[in-house]
Homo-oligomer: A and B are copies of this chain.
Amino acid sequence: MTDIKCLSTQDADFQARLSALLAWDSVSDDRVQGTVAEIIKEVRARGDAALMDYTARFDRWAPASAADLELPRSRLARAWAAIPADQRQALETAAERIRAYAEHQKMSGWSYREDDGTLLGQQVTPLDRVGLYVPGGKAAYPSSVLMNAIPAKVAGVSELIMAVPTPDGELNELVLAAAHIAGVDRAFAIGGAQAVAALAYGTETIPGVDKIVGPGNIYVATAKRAVFGQVGIDMVAGPSEILVVCDGGTDPDWIAMDLFSQAEHDEDAQSILVSWDAEFLDRVAASIDRLLPTMERREIIDAALKARGALVLARDLDDAIAVANEIAPEHLELSVEDPESIVGRIRHAGAIFMGRYTAEALGDYCAGPNHVLPTSRTARFSSPLGVYDFQKRSSLILCSSAGSAVLSRTASVLARGEGFTAHARSAEYRGEDAS
């Protein structure tokens, strides 16, 4: 029997206990910071030579030359051909659905013309070159390759470069197959902070990119933070989380399994259920107790539920929604009768899974929306990874002579108010000419 915490929003110390439960600090310590800073410095200074040294040291694998760091596209194609047919079919279906959803996200430019002929607008362009970091070893997930790569290609990124470490020279065939179907352009068998540094600054062999995305361990995350500015980065993710809001009408075994599916990621993962049906909470607790011993990853699930899980009794639906907005969860299941009537009241969530049939796991793999989502309450200010993360905007301004004459008067007053007389005179030149 697991010791998942039971809370009630009516408890006097509910806010404090909830805050304690949600608390997460991802700060890397000084030792990690120092190691990463050293690695970046070395890769910037010595390029391929440093990359080869670190690969030999951390991945225990010595390429004969820097050119051997590259995994040719034919190698990815071979992996694709060699995996079992059902996995190939599943990757293909998932890729198609992720691509179809991503197409809806693609931004377009726009412009409008004012009465005096002045044109204002926004031009949208893809990033030129993107680096995709993929963890090696046991944490290598083909689904993650699809989710990071496909939106970039839909955006129109012309070169997508994958970095995947091969600890002890070992490759993950499913990851290579996913890279093949997702349209990865070039792949390199490099990892860790050295891969991030190589992608950010370029080496003789590794092309420098404009943005780096993808999950990684604390060294990778610290390196991404350090090179931010030189290149763009995606969010640095915390542990994965789910919040299930249930009206009590869903099979408690299903809900227990949804909580498990989050908890099985790792011991820090967070699974919380909120309901206003106290008896239902008891039934889910019973399902947890009955099903947990049958789970392959029961030790991890048990540890995660004990440390960071909770069953929360709310007063009513409104109260449950307030808890959801406070938590701003990465994954939110609205396992209720009429989810569409309440979804508009959810102010913060990475992805919202509506109705009893929408298991969060479907979204992890193949529903279509991205599984790279804001964690640790960052859904308050950030969004799922999407095509828009691989596009950028340029403002467009084309003043007619009449338009510039009008605008120059306003600009001149404000510029002089700020003490910027070159700004003022630059504007005034155009105004004088037009009038």
Of A60-68, A162-170, A314-322, A345-353, the one contacting chain B is A345-353
Residue of B nearest to A112 (CB): B104
Minimum distance in angstroms from A254 CB to a CB of chain B:
5
CA distance A241 to B39 in the complex (A): 31
Minimum distance in angstroms from A155 CB to a CB of chain B:
11
Contact with B along A340-364 (1 / 0, CB 8 A): 1001101111111111111111111
Question: What residues of B have a CB within 8 angstroms of the CB of A204 in the complex?
Answer: none
Q: Report A327-382 residues with CB < 8 Å from chain B CB.
A: 332, 339-340, 343-344, 346-370, 373-374, 376, 378-382
Structural contact, A370 and B358, CB atoms closer than 8 A: no
Structural contact, A399 and B264, CB atoms closer than 8 A: no
Q: Which of B87, B339, B425 contacts A417 (CB 8 A)?
A: B87
A53 part of interface (Cβ distance < 8 Å): no
Question: What residues of B have a CB within 8 angstroms of the CB of A358 in the complex?
Answer: 397-399, 404, 430
Q: Which of B122, B359, B400, B425 contacts A426 (CB 8 A)?
A: B359
Residue of B nearest to A125 (CB): B347
Q: Report A287-305 residues with CB < 8 Å from chain B CB.
A: 295-297, 301
Structural contact, A394 and B258, CB atoms closer than 8 A: no
Interface size, A (range): 35 or more
A91 part of interface (Cβ distance < 8 Å): yes
Task: Please state the number of chain copies in the assembly.
Answer: 2
Residue of B nearest to A257 (CB): B426
A187 part of interface (Cβ distance < 8 Å): no
Residue of B nearest to A340 (CB): B398
Structural contact, A399 and B357, CB atoms closer than 8 A: yes
Question: What residues of B have a CB within 8 angstroms of the CB of A58 in the complex?
Answer: none
Structural contact, A301 and B110, CB atoms closer than 8 A: no
Q: Which of B257, B393, B410 contacts A384 (CB 8 A)?
A: B393
Q: Report A217-243 residues with CB < 8 Å from chain B CB.
A: 229, 231-232, 236
Q: A367-B120, A414-B90, A418-B143 are in contact. Are A427 and B362 (CB under 8 A)?
A: yes
Structural contact, B122 and A366, CB atoms closer than 8 A: no
A174 part of interface (Cβ distance < 8 Å): yes
CA distance A421 to B414 in the complex (A): 63
Q: A120-B101, A357-B404 are in contact. Are A365 and B410 (CB under 8 A)?
A: yes
Structural contact, A346 and B296, CB atoms closer than 8 A: no
Q: A90-B410, A295-B422 are in contact. Are A400 and B357 (CB under 8 A)?
A: yes
Question: What residues of B have a CB within 8 angstroms of the CB of A344 in the complex?
Answer: 123
A15 part of interface (Cβ distance < 8 Å): no
Residue of B nearest to A373 (CB): B395
A386 part of interface (Cβ distance < 8 Å): yes
Question: What residues of B have a CB within 8 angstroms of the CB of A143 in the complex?
Answer: 414, 418
- A-B CB contact pairs (8 Å), 13 listed: A143-B418, A174-B418, A260-B426, A296-B421, A297-B421, A350-B395, A351-B396, A366-B411, A367-B407, A370-B395, A373-B395, A374-B392, A379-B394
